[in-house]
Structure 1
Amino acid sequence: MATALITGASAGLGLEFAWQLASARHNLVLVARNRERLEGIAQQIESVAGVHVEVLPADLSQRDQVEVVAKRLRSQDNPVGLLVNNAGYAVHKRFLASDIGEQEKLLAVMVNSVMVLSQAAAQQMIERGRGAILNVSSVAALTASGTYSAHKAWVRSFTEGLAVELNGTGVTATALCPGFVHTEFHERAGIDYSGFPEIAWLNADQVVATALQDVRRGAVISTPSLRYQLASGLLRTLPRAAVRALQSNGGAGRIGSEK
């Protein structure tokens, strides 16, 4: 039975990944900060799905705790066959008005942990000649929405480069790029999108199902839903000056705060 490791597994897309992968008979390693919540989720999944669930509490803004997760990924004892780098959050402040320490912590979670854990997983998977890495980016990677867009753009570009390096190894890398998804992400960030039209929103189960299908077929970019595929195409073709203008007017730059 294959094993999947999921970061940010206690809520939102991470939790949905856990349930869908468990339903597909994957054993799990769940990573998040709150041990009590993780243990409760693990107990529920084990009782319903009949798979084995490890919990690995870690604050991915702390380099030493990232290393604990990396060590688990490097292990050839019950090796991880799928890494889902999902952990992340948003700071609902303009960059120039925010605390730089808060921004550095966000960078560590959204960028540095993805880099460290992807390398640890890929090196172990290459030795076995199989495996997959799924990094959660966003349609926001194509906009100009402050550090959140910058982090997600890094994840997308990094994953594409990783996929090139992994070509021919039996290991794949996929960047998931959804738009708005119905989770508690926005509430936790203090962002009110209640006035946004329902057509802009995706359901977490659909996003995760599409992502896992794309991983299975070795896709490098996974963008769930036709409407966000079209939005992504438009954002890639627009002059960057136009994208920045849309952001200044509160438009396209708001796309894609998912989780």
Structure 2
Amino acid sequence: MSDNPIALITGASSGIGRELARVFAEHGHDLVITARRKERLAEVAAELGERVRVETIPANLATRNGIATLKKGLRERELEVDVLVNNAGAGASGQFVAADAAKSLALIDLNVRALTDLTHFALPGMLERGRGRILNVASVAAFQALPGMSVYAASKAFVLSFTEALSEELANTPVTVTALCPGLTRTEMVDDLQAAPDFMFASAAEVAEEGYRACRAGEVIRVPGVGNQALVTWLQYQPRWLKRFLSGIAGRAAIAATGTERGQEKDITATAASASSR
């Protein structure tokens, strides 16, 4: 690698992760990108390799072997991570009782275990070197329970809570941690919702740019979009029973929009570091 800071971006083969790779490259970061799909990673590396140095480490982060593969690759190449972007994630819609347990656990492994494991891996070195930033991609779903996407919303609530707590633990250090909480974004993860009105969606590029700016500024939480910000602010002042009731309506509507009925579980994930991109 050059003297440029190194950004490790998970789930970088498509969607928000791919756009984050572009943004960090535009701002002079060398990249280590990882995802499950080797061919997609090669495409990203070819696109950005003329600007900065790009290392690719294909890995399925929904598995312990995949996480170990990524960490081994970083050690063998002697790469020091200056910015950790925990973007890889998965989501699924449908009634919990009808969901496949293995898929639910794989979602938790990717959204929670991999993020936590990689933070454990990268943070000590950041503190030793006296610099570092962590960007965790959560969701507006982190702010309330979401029936119909119960495991996904709970996993993103973990990401938000973990980020907030860790930010306080790191308050007197040169390392910052940020939670990016996008709403609906035009990615493979929401292909089944493409019939929804355009105004409901942000572009992956817009979300990535906001995430980069928030990370650089050391903000703890960034919610892209005025509408999403208004929703999150409003939710903070509502009783839990009302939030639960309204999120139930929204969750059932989402199931209907994706064509997922009781007895059917439908993945709505993009494919990257495991079976998903975010």
TM, length-normalised to structure 2: 0.84
The aligned counterpart of 2:24 is 21
1:155 to 159, 162, 167: 159
What is the CA distance between 1:193 and its match in structure 2? 4.9
Paired AA for residue 43 in structure 2: G
More moved, 92-101 vs 68-77 = 68-77
SS in 2 for 1:229: helix
Matches of 1:166 and 1:90, distance apart in 2: 29
Q: Does 1:5 align with 2:23?
A: no
Counterpart of 2:157 in structure 1: which amino acid?
A
Are 2:181 and 1:177 equivalent residues in the alignment?
yes
For the residue of structure 1 that corresponds to 2:193, the secondary structure is coil
Across the two proteins, how many residue pairs are aligned to each other? Answer: 251
Post-superposition shift, 1:208? 1.2
Within 5 Å, give how 1:81-92 maps onto structure 2.
81-92=82-93
What is the CA RMSD across the aligned residues, in angstroms? 2.1
CA distance in 2, matches of 1:209, 1:14: 11
CA offsets 1:106-153 (integer angstroms, 9 cap, x no match): 110010001000111111100101000000001101122211110000
| Deviations 1:139-188 (CA, angstroms, capped at 9, x unpaired) | 1011222111100000000011111111222001000011111122112x
Rounded Cα–Cα distance in structure 1 between residues aligned with 2:253 and 2:128:
41
Shift, 1:72, TM fit = 5.2
Aligned counterpart, 2:134: 133
Cα deviation per residue 1:201-239 (whole Å; 9 max; x = unaligned)? Answer: 112222111111111111100111222111101122211
Residue 147 of structure 1 aligns with an amino acid whose one-letter code is V
Residue 85 of structure 2 contacts residue 135 of structure 2 at CA under 8 Å; is this kept in 1?
yes
Could you tell me how far apart the structure 2 residues matched to 1:73 and 1:158 are? Answer: 24
1: CA distance between counterparts of 2:234 and 2:75? 40
Give, in angstroms, the shift of residue 53 of structure 1: 0.4
Alpha-carbon distance between aligned partners in 2 of 1:213 and 1:253, rounded to the nearest angstrom:
33
SS where residue 57 of structure 1 aligns? coil
**Alignment-derived partner of residue 246 in structure 1:** 246
TM-score of the pair, normalised by structure 1: 0.90
Off by >4 Å, runs of 4+ in structure 1: 71-76, 251-254
**Alignment-derived partner of residue 33 in structure 2:** 30
Distance 1:237 1:25, change over 3 A: same
Q: Report % sequence identity.
A: 39
Offset at 1:243? 1.3
The Cα shift of 1:76 comes to: 9.5
2:266 counterpart residue number: none
Q: Which has the higher contact order (CA 8 A, sep 6+)?
A: 2
Matched residue type, 1:42: A
- Unpaired runs of at least 5, structure 1: none
In structure 2, the residue corresponding to 1:194 is in which secondary structure? coil
Separation in 1 of the partners of 2:136 and 2:240?
25
Q: Does the CA-based 8 Å contact 1:183-1:204 persist in structure 2?
A: yes
Matching residue of 1:230 = 230
Number of the residue aligned with 1:59: 60
2:257 is matched with none
Q: 8 Å contact 2:6–2:83 — kept in the other structure?
A: yes
Preserved CA contact (<8 Å) 1:9 1:15: yes
Residues in 1 aligned to 2:234 and 2:136: alpha-carbon distance in whole angstroms: 23
SS in 1 for 2:166: helix
Contact 1:73 1:120 in 2 (8 A): no
Are the counterparts in 2 of residues 172 and 218 from structure 1 also a CA contact under 8 Å? Answer: yes
